[in-house]
Structure 1
Amino acid sequence: MSHFLFDEFYQVSAKEWKQKIQFDLKGADYNKTLVWESNEGIKVKPFYHKDDTKFLPIVTSKKKYSICQSIFISDVKVASFLAKDALKRGAKSIEFEAHAEFDIHQLLDQILHSGDTKDNVQIYFKLNFLSETFLIRLIEKCDDLPVFLNVDLIGNLAKTGNWFKNKKEDYTVLENILKKATTNANVLSVDAGLYQNAGADIVQQVAYTLGHGNEYLNTITGDTKQIVDAISFQFAIGGNYFFEIAKLRAFEYLWQLLTKEYDVNIKAELFVKPSLRNKTLYDSSVNMLRTTTECMSAILGGADVISNVSYDSLYHKKNEFGERIARNQLLILQEESYFKEVSQVAEGSYYIESLTKEITEKALQLFKNIEKSGGFLNQLEAGTIQRKIEQSAVKEQQLFDKGEITLLGGNKYSNVDERMKTELELYPFVKIKPRKTEIRPIITKRLAESLEQERIEKE
C-alpha cells in the first residue's frame, strides 16, 4: 500500500483552480494578463496541473554527471600539469583544445600512468584541425582510457564556412578513423553550442542538432554502424532555467526515436557548457550567478559531462583563480548541494514535462521540414539555416535593446563607474576575418556587445 503526503487533502482540479484565478482577476482577461509567449511560440501558463499534463515516455537512467576541466594546449608541459592538477582538485574529465598537432606522449603519459586517475578519468579533445594519422595515434595511445575525439566535419563547415580540406576528403578521413576506432574511442561529435551562441531559439537548437546528428547517421549506417557507441553532443545552456532543462530532455528523447529508425543503439553523450551569449564584460562577477543556474539546468536536464566557464573568460586569459572558481561551482553543486543525488528530479514536474513535450513536438516538426527540404547539410550549404538563426538572433537582440530581456551589469543596474579598457587581455567582441568561404559561416555574438563597445569608447 502506498501512502502519499497529500492524500488527506481535498483534490483540486485544474478547472477549479482556473475558476478561482478568474474570480480573483475581477474581470481581467486571463490569457492576456497571466499567459506569456516565449520566442519559440510556447505559451507559458501561470500554473500547471496533472489534469492538463501529458507525459512523454522518456526513459532516463540514474547517473552522476562528470565535472570537466577545459584546457587549451599552448604549451604541452603546462597543459599536462594543469590536467593533473585539475584531476587532483575534483575534476573527473579533461577537455584538451588545440589548433595544431602536439606531443601526445608528453601530454598524456602522466595521466595514463597515474593510479589515482586512470580508472576514473575521461579525455575529450577539441581539435581545430583534421589529421588522420594524428587522430589514429591518439586512439592507439588511449587504448585503455575512455576518449572522445570529437570529430565534427559539419560543425567546422558551419563555424568557419569551409571544410577542413574538401567534403570528399574529409569524409574519407572520417571513415578511415572510424575503422581504426577501439571500443574506448568515440569519434563523432556535434557542436550544438554554436547554434545557441549564435542566437538560435531553443526549438531551433534541438531541431538543428538533431538534423546535424542525422547527417552522421546517414554516413555510419554501413559497415561502421557497429563501431559507433556514442556521439558527443556539445550543448550550450542559456539563462532560461526551466526551458533549458526541457531542451536537453527533449533532445535526448528525439535522439532515441531517431536512432531506432536506423536500428542502431548510439548513445547521445551530452557534453554541456554555459552559454557565452548572455555573459557580460562589465560587472563580470554576475557571470558567476549565471553560470551557476545554467549548470543547474544542465544537471537537471541530464548532462553527462559539464565544463563550466570562468566569470572572466571574456577578457582574461585562463588563470588559476577563475578556473578554480568555475570548477568549485560544480563541486559545490555536486557535493554540498546534493545534486548528485537528484539526477531524476525533473521527472514528474508538470511544468517541465509540459515544456519538454511542446519543445519536442515543435522541434520534431521543424526537423521533418528540414528533411523534406533535402536535409540539414543541404540547407546549411544553401544558407537557410544561417538565415533562420540570424532572424532569431535579431529578434532576441531587439528585445535586449528594448530592455525586455535584461542582463544585470549590461542593460540593467550597470556600474557606471567601472572601467574595463585596461583589463582587456583578450578581445571580447566579434572578430570577422575577410576570407573566401564555401558557405556563409554561423557567427556567434553576445547580446551586450554593442552596448559594451559604446561604453569602452567613452572611457
Structure 2
Amino acid sequence: MADQLFQEFESVSSKQWKQQIQYELKGLDYNETLIWESPEGIKVKPFYHADETQVKFQVDSAQKKFTIVQNIFVHDVKKSNLRAKETLSRGAESIRFTIENETVSIEELMQNLPLEKTTYFFYLPFLSIDFVTKLSEFTTKNNADFIIQLDPIGQFCKDGNWFENIKNDFEKLNTISKLTFSTINIKAGIYQNAGANMVQQLAYTLAHINEYFNRIQSINQPITIEVSVGTNYFFEIAKLRALRLLFKTLAAEYNHNFDCHIIVTPTKRNKTIYDYNVNMLRTTTECMSAILGGANSISNLPYDSLYHKDNEFGDRIARNQLLILKNESYFDKVNNPADGSYYIENLTEQLAEKALLLFKEIEDKDGLITQLIEGIIQRKISESAQKEQDLFDSGKEILLGTNKYPNKNDRMKDDLELYPFVKQNPRKTQITPIIEKRLAEKLEQARLNEEK
C-alpha cells in the first residue's frame, strides 16, 4: 500500500507469523493442513504478507460508475419500447436488446428513449451489413450511444456452425467494423458456463480476441467482452483484473489503444431450480465480485430465469440487488478497491501468468479456431467440467438446498415455464459445440421424476 498505517506498532514478519501458526497447529504439518490447491493449480496460502509480495503490474480497476444493464428480448417492438422506458425509470441505467429479426424498426424501438446519456447494447444473433448500417445511421443522426454485439466465433463455439461460413462471416465483419461505433464482441461467458476453469477461461478469451486482431483489418473501436462469474469470490475478482491486464498486454502488440468494455453476468452453472431463492444469494456475491473486479457494466441474472419466462418481479429483484450494492453499499465509490490486497494481487498475477502460458500454447498450435475444429478446446473444457461435476456429485462442492440440506417437500414440476436442462438438437455441425451445462441438472431431473 502507498500509505503505511499503524506505524506506532512494531511490525511482524511473515516468518514470525508462520512460527506462531506452526505452534498453534500442535505438530500438524503447515503445508498439508493450511495450504490448498485450486482447480487451476494455484496453491492458496493461509495468509499473505508484505515481505513476500512484490507487485509486478498495475491493474486499472478504478470504479467508473458501473452501469446496471437490463436485458430485453425484442419480440414485439412496441412492448419492448415500453418495457425499456419503464425499466430505465425504475433503476436500470443501460439496455441490452436482443434482436433476432432484422426487419425490426430502429426508430420505433428507440422512440422517446433517452439517447445521449444512456448506452444501448444490441445483441444480434445474425450478421447483416444493412441492419448494422441502419443502427450506425441512427446513432449519427441522434447522437446515440450504441454498442453492437457481433461475435461469429462465439456463434461457432455455441452452435457448431458459422452464420454462413468462415470466409463470408469475416468479410462481412470487416465491412461492419469500419463503422464508427463498437461492434466487436467476445462472448466469453460460454467458457465459464460450460465448466472451464479460470485459467482456461482467460486463455480462451485471449485467444478469441486474438483471432479478431488477426482477421479484422483495423479495429479502431473498443472491444466488448462478455464474462460470466461464479461464487469463488476472491478468485473471480482476480479473474476480471487479470483479464483487463491480459487484454492490455495483447492489444499493445497490435497498437490497439482502446480499453476493453467488460460486461459481466452471473454464471448459470451453479444456479438451481430447487430452493431457487438461494440463487439471489449467489448472484449477489457474484455481482460484488464483478464490481470489485472492475466491470464496466453488469447484467444481473434473475433468480427464476432458469424456469420462468421473463417477468417483472424477477427483473425487479435482479435490478434491486445492484441498486442496493451501488446506492446503499457504495460499492462504486472506492477507486481500485482490490489494490493493496496481497491475496488478490497474488491471485491476479498467478491467473494472468498461467493464462498467458496456455494462450501461447494455443497460438503455437495455430490459434483458437483451429483448436476448435480439431476438438481440443471442447475436450479440455469437458475434462475440467467433469472434475467439477465429480466434486458436486460427491458432495465436496456444495450447492445449498440442492446437494446439501435439500428441502424434500419442494415441488417444481408444475412451475416450469421453461425447460431448464441441456436441450438435444441433433443436426449436422462443422464442430462439436461447446455445451453449457449446470452442475445440478442430473440431480434435479431425478427429483422431478420422483415428484408425485
TM-score by length of 1: 0.95
Question: Which residue of the other structure, out of 357, 361, 371, is the alignment partner of 1:365?
Answer: 357
Distance in structure 1 (CA, Å) of the matches to 2:170 and 2:109: 28
The residue number in structure 2 matching 1:114 is none
Deviations 1:224-282 (A, max 9, x none): 34xx2211000001010000000000010011111111122132110100000000100
Asked whether the equivalents of residues 272 and 402 of structure 2 are also in contact (C-alpha less than 8 Å), the reply is: yes
The residue number in structure 2 matching 1:169 is 168
The residue number in structure 1 matching 2:94 is 93
Deviation at 1:75, TM superposition (A): 1.1
Asked whether the equivalents of residues 302 and 343 of structure 1 are also in contact (C-alpha less than 8 Å), the reply is: no
The residue number in structure 1 matching 2:204 is 208
Which amino acid letter does the alignment assign opposite residue 107 of structure 1? L
The residue number in structure 1 matching 2:431 is 439
Deviation at 1:58, TM superposition (A): 1.9
Which amino acid letter does the alignment assign opposite residue 441 of structure 1? P
Distance in structure 2 (CA, Å) of the matches to 1:62 and 1:298: 11
Deviation at 1:62, TM superposition (A): 4.1
The residue number in structure 2 matching 1:42 is 42
The residue number in structure 1 matching 2:182 is 186
Deviation at 1:369, TM superposition (A): 0.5
Question: Which residue of the other structure, out of 396, 415, 431, is the alignment partner of 2:388?
Answer: 396
Distance in structure 1 (CA, Å) of the matches to 2:118 and 2:165: 34
Within 5 A, what are the aligned runs for 1:42-441? 42-60=42-60, 61-101=62-102, 102-111=104-113, 117-143=114-140, 144-179=143-178, 181-182=179-180, 185-220=181-216, 222=217, 224-225=218-219, 228-441=220-433
Aligned length: 446
SS in 2 for 1:230: coil
Which amino acid letter does the alignment assign opposite residue 216 of structure 1? Y
Distance in structure 1 (CA, Å) of the matches to 2:195 and 2:9: 46
The residue number in structure 2 matching 1:23 is 23
Distance in structure 2 (CA, Å) of the matches to 1:54 and 1:319: 49
Deviation at 1:100, TM superposition (A): 2.1
- Which stretches of structure 1, 4 residues or longer, exceed 4 Å deviation after superposition? none
Distance in structure 2 (CA, Å) of the matches to 1:5 and 1:41: 34
Q: Residues 327, 343 of structure 1: CA spacing in aligned structure 2 closer, same or farther, 3 A cutoff? A: farther
Deviations 1:413-441 (A, max 9, x none): 11110100000000000002001001110
Distance in structure 2 (CA, Å) of the matches to 1:167 and 1:219: 11
Which amino acid letter does the alignment assign opposite residue 137 of structure 1? K
TM-score by length of 2: 0.97
Q: Residues 343, 291 of structure 1: CA spacing in aligned structure 2 closer, same or farther, 3 A cutoff? A: farther
Asked whether the equivalents of residues 299 and 343 of structure 1 are also in contact (C-alpha less than 8 Å), the reply is: no
SS in 2 for 1:428: coil
Which amino acid letter does the alignment assign opposite residue 21 of structure 2? I
SS in 2 for 1:229: coil
Q: Which runs of 5+ in 2 are unaligned?
A: none
Deviation at 1:343, TM superposition (A): 4.0
Q: Residues 337, 62 of structure 1: CA spacing in aligned structure 2 closer, same or farther, 3 A cutoff? A: closer
Identity %: 55
Deviation at 1:30, TM superposition (A): 0.6
Q: Residues 262, 399 of structure 1: CA spacing in aligned structure 2 closer, same or farther, 3 A cutoff? A: same
Asked whether the equivalents of residues 221 and 258 of structure 2 are also in contact (C-alpha less than 8 Å), the reply is: yes
Instruction: Report the RMSD for the aligned CA atoms in angstroms.
Output: 1.2
Deviation at 1:119, TM superposition (A): 2.6
SS in 2 for 1:149: strand
Q: Residues 350, 167 of structure 1: CA spacing in aligned structure 2 closer, same or farther, 3 A cutoff? A: same
Asked whether the equivalents of residues 197 and 275 of structure 1 are also in contact (C-alpha less than 8 Å), the reply is: yes
Distance in structure 2 (CA, Å) of the matches to 1:3 and 1:371: 42
Asked whether the equivalents of residues 161 and 431 of structure 2 are also in contact (C-alpha less than 8 Å), the reply is: yes
Deviations 1:374-429 (A, max 9, x none): 11111111111111000000000000000110001110111110100000000000
Q: Residues 430, 16 of structure 1: CA spacing in aligned structure 2 closer, same or farther, 3 A cutoff? A: same
Deviations 1:327-382 (A, max 9, x none): 01000000000111024111110110010011011001000111111111111111
SS in 2 for 1:387: helix
Asked whether the equivalents of residues 100 and 128 of structure 1 are also in contact (C-alpha less than 8 Å), the reply is: no
Deviation at 1:99, TM superposition (A): 2.2
SS in 2 for 1:272: strand
Deviation at 1:109, TM superposition (A): 2.0
Which amino acid letter does the alignment assign opposite residue 161 of structure 1? G
Distance in structure 2 (CA, Å) of the matches to 1:450 and 1:197: 16
Asked whether the equivalents of residues 278 and 401 of structure 2 are also in contact (C-alpha less than 8 Å), the reply is: yes
